Amino acid sequence: MTSGPQPTTRLLRLAVAQYEPRIGDMRHNLDSAVRWTKAAAEAGARLAILPELATSGYAFESVEEAERLAELPGDGGATAALAEVCADAGMHVVVGVDERDPRGGRHNSAAVLGPEGVVAVYRKLHLFHDEQSWFAPGDELPVVDLPWGRLGMIVCFDIWFPEPARALALAGAEVIACPTNWVASFKRTVYDERGWCQGDYMAVARAAENGAVVACADRIGEERGLRFLGASIIVDADGWPVAGPAAADAEALLVADVDLAGVARARQRTPRNNLLGDRRGAYPVRTVDGVSAPADRAPAGASRQP
């Protein structure tokens, strides 16, 4: 155990790549993933984040297609090529993969790759709409110790649920990487007047409530009539955007220096308040009858005047 003053800054440069994978075009997808990871390395990033299902594309039309485009992380394909880039650059990358499960079936996964190959794989917990036809959900949230700190992952729709990001923060994650394919479907309003989509606000919420850096790598373009929203974003541990939102329909590399020493400071909101420590456990809810007449509202067991 080391003693003495803790460093007041611990900078991590990270990059989020927003581009257009193509359904079924494995060559294009591999080349794009490598090109954007190299661009992140050239920008000095030690962590690059690529979109959800970047190796395969998103809008499958059959189980057979999802299976044909699946890969086992590290066993050739885009993930092996990305590990080589990581070895050359001394960095790590998080990439969305149509993951073939050796026990059968597939997962919508985020693989962490580094100089030695596959470090960890997170399998998306909350499958969105048709994804439920192609994938099985995961059942755990890995946290990964990397040379600069602790990383957790969620994927796209997961960000609409506070629980996974909270669980990762409680497990010490300082950075939450979110490969994503935000879509316009089922929403009346897709962007606000600033060009933010709802995923951007979710990223701010997850960062602010947990005191964690949240970095979302979205894609652009359209597949089989499904439009993707771009607007990738990096949010710091105080809950403020430090890069992005990127444009809705243009490629982008967002690069930011985040101070991981700021994570502990962000969680300690005041000398007397800690975002993780002040939680109240069960949060019991009581239903109050505000409709029936006051005389009928007395709680069970309460004495009533005759």
* Residues found near ligand ACM in the complex (CB under 6 A): 52, 128, 156-157, 181, 183
Tokens 């460093």 belong to 7
SS (H, E, C) 92-126: EEEEEEEEECCCCCEEEEEEEEECCEEEEEEECCC
Catalytic position from the list 20, 71, 86, 156: 156
Taking the least distance from each CB to ligand ACM, the nearer of 33 and 41 is 33
User: Which is catalytic among the residues 52, 71, 99, 131?
Assistant: 52
Nearest approach, Cβ of residue 138 and ligand ACM (Å): 13
Q: Min. distance of Cβ 134 from ligand ACM in angstroms?
A: 12
The smaller minimum CB distance to ligand ACM, of residues 59 and 275, is found at 59
Residue (52 or 200) nearer to ligand ACM, CB: 52
Q: Report, in Å, the least distance between residue 83 CB and ligand ACM.
A: 25
Active site residue 187: no
Nearest-approach distance from CB 291 to ligand ACM, in angstroms: 38
How many residues are recorded in the chain?
306
Nearer to ligand ACM, 119 or 183 (CB): 183
Q: Which is nearer to ligand ACM, 115 or 221 (CB)?
A: 221
CA distances, 169 to each of 126, 215, 297 (Å):
18, 14, 42
152 CA to centre of own chain: 8
User: Where does the chain have alpha helices with state H?
Assistant: 26-42, 63-68, 77-89, 131-134, 162-170, 198-210, 261-267
DSSP string, 256-277: EEEETHHHHHHHEEETTEETTT
* Nearest approach, Cβ of residue 84 and ligand ACM (Å): 28
Distances (CA, A) of 20 to 17, 52, 256: 10, 11, 21
Asked if residues 71 and 99 have their Cβ atoms less than 8 Å apart, the reply is yes
CA dist 267 and 214 (Å) reads 14
Q: Which of 86, 124, 216, 223 is catalytic?
A: 124
The answer to whether residues 17 and 39 touch, using CB atoms and an 8 Å cutoff, is yes
Which residue type sits at 289? D
Separation between Cα atoms, residue 117 and residue 115, nearest integer Å: 6
- Which structure tokens are listed for 269? 């909101």
Catalytic status, residue 124: yes
Q: How far is the CB of 161 from ligand ACM (least distance, A)?
A: 11
Identity of the residue, 37 or 181, whose beta carbon is nearer to ligand ACM in the bound complex: 181
Which residues are tagged catalytic? Answer: 52, 124, 156
